[in-house]
Chain A
Amino acid sequence: EAGVAQSPRYKIIEKRQSVAFWCNPISGHATLYWYQQILGQGPKLLIQFQNNGVVDDSQLPKDRFSAERLKGVDSTLKIQPAKLEDSAVYLCASSFRGLAGGNTGELFFGEGSRLTVL
């Protein structure tokens, strides 16, 4: 079974530029998450989709971050304009049906996209 795919793996931009990250979840997984992991911290949820609807985006900085999940499959996360403090690894995860998916309620994470803002 193919895992969660993310691209690009690495991105370096200057502040005030824009960047977009792409995620392809595991086939059949209805729930998709974007997490931000700043160095030395645990992952922080930015946005959660159930199919193509937003379940939770309370921690998404909506003045600069946007995310969409068209057709309930792939998702993109965009940052415009980027700030220095946006430097982080952006993790995409998916699950079959939220935390209760499967037998153990696990999320499957991609390898992440590392963003450096100069």
Chain B
Amino acid sequence: DQQVKQNSPSLSVQEGRISILNCDYTNSMFDYFLWYKKYPAEGPTFLISISSIKDKNEDGRFTVFLNKSAKHLSLHIVPSQPGDSAVYFCAASVGAGTASKLTFGTGTRLQVTL
């Protein structure tokens, strides 16, 4: 039962353009969402998060949008840079307390080309 889905396994974007990575979830109890970035042979690193009380959160070139009615979130990277090439994981949890656990999607591999 895949509760967090990233239906695009890969995405290729030109440098300077916008990258849009999508994520869908099925568990309506999820109320906290995060994006992680993973380079080869490294552990995932936190990128940005959003609580369900918001519909947008921005941090520099990264913006996450949340559409609760559609159970959909997206990560926008503008402008895309070659260093953004990595696997991006969407993750969700019920609450953000000490007992909360993350459910991850399968990841989207982003390649930013010159």
Q: Which residues of A contact B (CB under 8 A)?
A: 4, 30-31, 33, 40-45, 48, 50, 55-56, 91, 93, 97-100, 104-112
Asked if residues B34 and A105 are in contact (CB atoms below 8 Å), the reply is yes
Most buried by A among B41, B91, B97, B98: B98
Residues of B within 8 A of A55 (CB): 98-99
User: Nearest chain-B residue to A95 (Cβ)?
Assistant: B98
Asked if residues A91 and B43 are in contact (CB atoms below 8 Å), the reply is yes
Q: B106 → chain A, closest Cβ, in Å?
A: 5
Total interface residues on B, CB under 8 Å, equals: 29
Asked if residues B44 and A105 are in contact (CB atoms below 8 Å), the reply is no
User: Nearest chain-B residue to A48 (Cβ)?
Assistant: B101
Asked if residues B106 and A40 are in contact (CB atoms below 8 Å), the reply is yes
Residues of B within 8 A of A41 (CB): 106
Asked if residues B98 and A42 are in contact (CB atoms below 8 Å), the reply is no
Interface string of B87-103 (1 = CB under 8 A from A): 00101010111111111
Of residues 70 through 87 on chain B, the ones whose CB sits less than 8 Å from some CB of chain A are none
Asked if residues A104 and B43 are in contact (CB atoms below 8 Å), the reply is no
Q: CB within 8 A of B98: which of A40, A98, A110?
A: A98
Asked if residues B107 and A99 are in contact (CB atoms below 8 Å), the reply is no
